[in-house]
Structure 1
C-alpha cells in the first residue's frame, strides 16, 4: 500500500506536529501532504520545519497563499497526492498504532474501495473537558455495527435510526475510486463539507467496516475548534446544517440512482433546518408555502421528530 495522508492546516500550531508524527509511524504511509491555509498563528513555520525534517512530508499552499477553507485544501491535497490510497487527518487530531491494521487486510480484495473505522476522543485541557464532555463523553461516536455497504448511504442520512457517523480521520479510499464523484469537497461549505463528501462517496462506492469496537484515530477537543462549537450549540447548529442539507438536496435532485423516498427524506431535512432558522413570524408562512409547493416533504415532516422540534 502507498497511502497519501492529507492534512489541511489552519490555526493548528500546537497540534500539527503530533498529527504528522502519528502518521509517520506507518511504513504504508508514502507521503504526508500538508496544505497550509493562511493560518493566523505560527502554523506555517511549523509546517516548514516538518517539511525540512521529514522526507515524507510535503508542504503546499494555495496559489494565492490565501485562506480557502478545509474543503478546498483537501481538494488540493487530493490533486497533489501520488499514493494509490488516500487517507485524511485533521491537524488537531492524530492516528493510533492500529490505524491501518484492517486496511492492510481488506484492501487485498480489489473490489473493496473504501474502509472506515472508529474514532475516539481526547480533551486537550480541563476546560475543554468541562465544556464538552457532556456532548462527546469518552465514547466512540462513529458507526458501531457492521453494515452492508449498500445500507451505508441511507444510514448516514439518518433513515435507519441510531447509526453513527463516518469520520474522515478513519476513512481510507482507493484514489482511483474518487473519479466516480462529480467533484471532491464542496468549496461552498465552510463547515460540514466532510459530511457532504461522505454522503456522496457512500452512494458512489462501497464502504466496508474496519475496526469498529476500538478507536483507530483520535479527535482532539479544544476550545477553538469551530465544529465543536457547532455541536455544543455555541454556534446555532441549524444555521450551518441548513447549508449542508441545501447542498445535499440540490445534488440529490439530479442523481438518478437515489430512490424517491430517499430524496423525500433529504428534502424534509433541508426544510426542517430552513424553517428552524427563520424568524418566528416567517415560520408559518414557509409551512403554508411548502404545503402548496412541496406537500410531501411537509406532510412527512410532521411525523418526524427532528422536523417538529425545529418548527418553533
Structure 2
C-alpha cells in the first residue's frame, strides 16, 4: 500500500506568521508528505501575494479559487491531490513530528484502511501552554460519538483528519452548502458510513493567538450565529430521521445567548432566551437565561466565563508543551 500523503491547507486572509509556523511543523514530520497544497480561498490581494511567497519558500503547490468557504477549499485540494492519503490542516494549527507516521501506521492496520483516522488534539497558546486536550478515543461506539458531536463535545479536530482518498471520495467531501460546522457534518457522516478511529496520542494542536482572540471578539450577531446552526440542523435532519432539530436548536440558542450575555449584550441574549423557550417551553434553562442576561450587564464579572473563548483564555493551563 502506498505511503504517499498529500497535505491540504485552506487559507483565507490569514496570519502569515502563523501559516509559516504551521508549515514548519509539516516540514518537521518524521514521515514526509509527497506534497503540500495551499488552497487560497479568494484572499485579498495583499494576503494572496504573501501567501504565494510562503508557498514558494516551502515548496507548496498554491491553488486559488473564488471565496467559497473552507469546505469547498478542502474539496478542491483533495481533487487536486496526487497522494493516496489525504491529511487536512488548518492554516494556524500545528502538528507534532510523528503525526503523519502514526496515522499512516494506524490506517494500515486491519480494518482501518477505509476509516477516517483522528488523533487526540490540544488547544494551546503560542508559547506551547496546553489549555485543553480533546480525547476523542474515549467517546466509545458510533452512536455515542455522534451524540457527543452534535452536543458540541467534539471540536478542534479538523487538523487531525486523515484518510485514504477513496474514503474522502465515498463521503463526497465537505458539504458546500455549509460554511460553518461543515467539518462536524463531514465527521458525522464519516462515523456512520465509514467509521472513525482515533489514536490515543495528542498529535495535533489548535493555537490560540492574538488574531484568534480578535476574531472571537468580533463574533457575528446572535441571529446570524443561530442561522448557521439552523442550516447545520437542516443538513443533519436530511440524513438522520431520529434527529430532533428543535431540541438541538434550543440548546444552541442557549449557548449563543450565554455568550452574548457574557459579552454584556443583553438584547441579543434575551432574543436567544426567547428562542430557546419557544423551542422548548418546559425547560427552565431558557427562563434562567432570560433572568441572567440583565444581571450579566449589571455585574459583568459574574458571567465573564460565558464570553467566547474566555473559558480557555482564563483557565489555568494544563501544562507547557515541550
Q: Same fold (TM over 0.5)?
A: yes
Q: Which runs of 5+ in 2 are unaligned?
A: 258-266, 292-322
C-alpha change, 1:174 and 1:108, in structure 2 (3 Å) is same
Shift, 1:192, TM fit:
3.2
2:232 corresponds to which residue?
248
Cα distance, 1:110–1:48 mapped onto 2, change above 3 Å: farther
Q: Contact conserved, 2:8 with 2:77, CA < 8 A, in 1? A: yes
Find the counterpart in structure 2 of residue 267 from structure 1.
246
Is residue 81 of structure 1 aligned with residue 78 of structure 2?
no
Shift of 1:30: 1.8
Cα distance change of structure 1 residues 142 and 223 upon mapping to structure 2, 3 Å threshold:
farther
2:160 matches 1:177: no
Q: 1:59 aligns to what?
A: 62
2:189 match: 200
- Give the Å deviation of 1:14: 1.4
Q: Deviations over 1:188-233 (max 9, x none)?
A: 42x4332333233323220001134xx312222122227x744xx7
Separation of aligned partners in 1, 2:142 and 2:98: 22
Q: Deviations over 1:234-263 (max 9, x none)?
A: 6369556523431232123332xx362xx1
Aligned pair 1:6/2:15, yes or no?
no
TM-score by length of 1: 0.72
Distance of 1:238 and 1:202 partners within structure 2: 30
Q: Please say which of residues 177-186 and 246-255 is displaced more in the overlay.
A: 177-186
CA distances 1:81-107 after superposition (whole Å, capped 9, x unpaired): 222222111111221112124313221
CA distance 1:285–1:20, change in 2 (3 Å): closer
Q: Given the two structures, how large is their TM-score scaled by the length of structure 2?
A: 0.70
Name the structure 2 match of 1:17: 20
Question: Aligned-pair distance for 1:41?
Answer: 7.4
> Which residue pairs with 1:302 in the alignment?
283
Of the three residues 23, 36, 39, the one matched with 2:40 is: 36
**1-side partners of 2:45 and 2:160: how far apart?**
27
Assess, with a 3 A threshold, how the Cα gap between structure 1 residues 84 and 110 changes in structure 2: closer, same or farther: farther
Question: 1:120 & 1:106 partners in 2: Cα distance?
Answer: 20
Post-superposition offset of 1:45: 3.2
When you count helix as a share of all residues, which structure comes out higher?
2
Q: Could you report, residue by residue, the CA deviation over 1:4-24 in whole angstroms, capped at 9, with x for unpaired residues?
A: 111112222112222223213
Quote the offset at 1:187 in angstroms.
Answer: 4.4
CA distance in 1, matches of 2:167, 2:184: 18
Conservation of the 8 A alpha-carbon contact between 1:166 and 1:198: no
Cα deviation 1:264-305 (Å, max 9, x = unaligned): 2x43112343576696479658855x5xxxxxxx36x727x5
Distance in 2, matches of 1:217 and 1:281, equals 37
Residue 37 of structure 2 contacts residue 81 of structure 2 at CA under 8 Å; is this kept in 1?
yes
The 2-side partners of 1:43 and 1:187 are apart by 25
- Residue 192 of structure 1 contacts residue 241 of structure 1 at CA under 8 Å; is this kept in 2? no
CA deviation vs aligned residue, 1:147-202 (integer Å, no higher than 9, x gap): 2345321221239xxx543611112122211233355143442x433233323332
Structure 1: gaps spanning 5 or more residues: 291-297
How well do the aligned residues superpose, as a CA RMSD in angstroms?
Answer: 3.5
Q: Distance in 1 between matches of 2:233 and 2:34?
A: 37
CA distance in 1, matches of 2:207, 2:287: 33
Matched position secondary structure for 2:70: helix
Number of residue pairs matched by the alignment: 274
Alignment-derived partner of residue 224 in structure 1: 211
